[in-house]
Chains A and B, each alone.
Chain A
């Protein structure tokens, strides 16, 4: 099963990125094969609608589960349409979160925040 998690640097020891739509990277992890891939999140460069673009990217990556601190309503709409499950990240590294997910310690993400309506700006 493919897990996808936003992360700031290319390391499993790094913490889960607090941002979803504007995270610089996603890590795609296959729980069966153990295969790991760090992917650049091009949505971070968007002026607006970053969440939607990031969600589209996640759908296209084939991921089935997302572990994140937060998710906006527009992105959630895209992910829910495909049935991608969302879990709330906890403090600690990406590796810790993967372990907690496997042992069932992570809770589903229920708090979906309102969209930022294009005003989140560009990260340069």
Chain B
């Protein structure tokens, strides 16, 4: 599987816009929005089914007994 990464350094240059266009045109099998802080790709690419949500776990937290 070839993976294409779209990045820019500077915010607001058009990564999501270009990514959305390439996803559509390439008819790729999978894409990932790695801007976990402020994901926007899903706003551009309409989904035709309800998304499956899974919890993501960070490191364990210490608890005092």
Contacts and interface: CB of A to CB of B under 8 A. Distances in A.
Q: Would you call the interface of chain B mostly helix, strand, loop, or mixed?
A: loop
B59 interface: yes
Contacts of A14: none
Interface residues of B, number: 4
Interface of B: 56-59
A63 B59 CA distance: 30
Contacts of A124: 57
A122 interface: yes
Nearest to B60: A47
Nearest to B56: A121
Contacts of B56: 121-122
Interface residues of A, number: 4
A60 B30 CA distance: 38
A69 to B, nearest CB: 13
A96 to B, nearest CB: 22
Interface string A92-124: 000000000000000000000000000001101
A89 to B, nearest CB: 17
A47 B56 CA distance: 11
